[in-house]
Amino acid sequence: MFVLAASDAAQAISYWPLGILAICVVFIVVSIVKFRIHPFLALILAAFLAGILTGDLPNPTTENKGLFHSRVALDHSDIEGNNLTKAVSWSLMGFGNTAGGIGLVVALAAIIGTCMMGSGAADRIVRALLNAFGEQRAGIVLLLSGFLLSIPVFFDTVFFLLIPLARALSLRTGKSYTLYVIAMAGAGAITHSMVPPTPGPLMIADGLKLDLGVAMMAGMVASILPAWLVLTLAKRFDKKLNIPMRDTPGTASDELKSIVDKKDHELPGLFVSSIPVAFPVVVISLVSILKLLGKSPGDLLGFIGSPNIAMLIAAGFAILTFAQQLVRNDNSLRGNLSKTLSEKLEAPLLTAGVIILITGAGGAFGGMIRLAGVGETIEALANEFNISYVLLAWLATAVVRIAQGSATVAMITGVGLMSAVIGDGSGLDYHPLYIFLAIGFGSITLSWMNDSGFWVVQRLSGFTEKETLRTWSVLLTAIAVLGLAQTLLFSKILPLKGETIEGKEKASLVIHQP
C-alpha cells in the first residue's frame, strides 16, 4: 500500500521544472567557466532562458508585480505579448526588486571599506588587537582582524590590507608564516559568506525575508566554531608544511605600505576607527533583539537601526575620518577636499556597481526559477524522500560553488532555489535562518582554481598552487562541512520555531512594492 501511494505521488510530480533548473545552471557554469562571460550577463541571460523554457508565463499587472514567490494565475484573456516578452519583463522586474533592496547597503559598505583603509582606521584596529593579545598570539590577532574587517570590507581588499602585516610579523618572529596567512584568510572567508552587509549574505537574508539584524547575529554566532577550526587547522598546517615566506611583488600598493609603516600617533584613534564596523552591527542587532522580545524600539532607534540608515551613518563617520587624515597628511588638500574624496571613492563605487548588477541578475534568475515551478517540484520530492531542507540548501549551493568558483554567485543561486522551495518559511519545523546558514556555509566549499579568491591567496602569500590546494582549499571545505553539521544539529535541538520576525511582511512590501 505504501509503495503504491509513493508511486502514485511520484507520478503526480512534474519533473520539467527540474529540467529547466538543470539547463539554466549548466548554462551559467559553462558561460562563466568556459566562455568567460561576465557573471551579470550569464545570470540575466539564464533568467531569460528560464522564462522561455517555462512557457505560459503570467502577464505582469499592478496586482502581481513583485509578488512572484509563487506563480500568479491569471485569466489567459488578459495576457498580452508573447512569452519571450513576458520572460524579459518578469526577469527585469526581479532584477529591479533585488537591486533596489540591497543596492544602497552594498555601495555604502564599499565606501566604508575604502575609507577605513585609506585613513588607517583598519590598521589601527589590527594594531590594537596586537597590543591586547601580544605577538605570541599573533595568529589570534590576524584571525580576529580578518573576521571583523571582512564584515564591511570585501575579502580581497582585507587580504591586500593584512598580508603586509602577516609578512612583517613573520619577519619579526622568524616563524609561523603559514599560520598567519591561513588564520587571516580563513576568518575573512567565513564572514564574507556568513555575515551581512557583505553582498552574498545580504542577498540571502533579503531573499529569505529575514530580519537583517537576526541574520547578522546568527551569522556571527554560527561563525564562532568554524573560526576556532580555522585557528586549529592553521596551526596544524604551519607545523606540518612550514611554508616559508617568499618574495611576492605587488603584495600592497605604496599607499597601503605607507599606512602600515606609520606610527600609532599618526593613525586615527581606536574608538573613531571602530565606529564604522561597530555602529551598524550594534544598532541593527539591538533593534532586532527588541523586536524578538516583543518590545518596540521606538521611532528614533527604529529609524537609526534600519539597515540603510545605520550603514549611511557609519559611512559618514568613515568618510569624516578619512577626510581628517587626508588634510592631516597634506594640508594643501583642505580647499579641494570634496574633489579628492570623490576621486578616492570612485573606484570602490564602480566595484560596488558591478556587485549590485551581479546580485540583481541573480535576483532575476531566482524569480524566474520560482515562476518555473522549481520550488513546488523540489518540495514534493523532498517531502517524498524525507530530505532535509538544510542539507538541500547546502548541497545546491556547494555544487554551484565548486562548479563555477564564485561564492557570491553560488549564494545567489542557492537562495533563489530555496526561497522558491520554502516560501515564507512557515511550513518549516525550524526558523528559516537555518536555511540562511546552510546556504552561507555551502558557498564556502572547496575554493580551487576557478575561484578568484584562490588566486588572491596564492599570489599574495607566495604559496605554490599545490600548497594553496593543501591549505586554503582543504580549510574552506572543512569549514563548510563543520558549518553544515552544526546547522543540522541546532535546527533539531534549537529550532526557534516559535520566534517571529517583526516587520518581515512590511520589509517584503517595501522591497517588492510595485
Among 208, 198, 266, 234, smallest CA distance to 511 is for 208
Task: State pLDDT tens for residues 308-361.
Answer: 898 899 899 999 999 998 888 877 777 788 888 888 888 878 877 887 887 788
Neighbours of 167 (CB within 10 A): 22
Predicted structure pTM score? 0.69
Q: What is the pLDDT of residue 509?
A: 31
Task: State pLDDT tens for residues 433-487.
Answer: 999 999 999 999 988 776 767 877 887 788 888 898 899 999 999 999 999 999 9
Q: What is the pLDDT of residue 72?
A: 45
C-alpha 383/C-alpha 391 separation (Å) is 13
C-alpha 179/C-alpha 166 separation (Å) is 9
Q: Which amino acid is at 137?
A: R
C-alpha cell at 194: 556568513
> Could you tell me what percentage of the chain is helix, strand and coil, using 3-state DSSP and rounding each to the nearest 5?
75, 0, 25
Question: Greater confidence, 78 or 283?
Answer: 283
Q: Does pLDDT of 264 surpass 70?
A: yes
Reported confidence tier of residue 260, pLDDT bands at 50, 70, 90: low
Distances (CA, A) of 281 to 206, 217, 218, 269, 315: 17, 8, 12, 20, 13
C-alpha 327/C-alpha 321 separation (Å) is 10
Q: Report how far apart the first and last C-alpha atoms of the chain are (Å, whole number).
A: 49
C-alpha 370/C-alpha 206 separation (Å) is 15
Q: Does pLDDT of 135 surpass 80?
A: no
How does 62-93 read in b/e, with b if 16+ C-beta sit within 10 Å?
Answer: eebbbebbebbeeeeeebeeeeeebbbbbbbb
Mean per-residue pLDDT over the chain, rounded: 79
C-alpha 220/C-alpha 408 separation (Å) is 18
Report CA torsion sign: 364, 370, 372, 378.
Answer: positive
Reported confidence tier of residue 513, pLDDT bands at 50, 70, 90: very low
Q: What percent of the chain has pLDDT over 70?
A: 83
Question: Greater confidence, 182 or 87?
Answer: 182
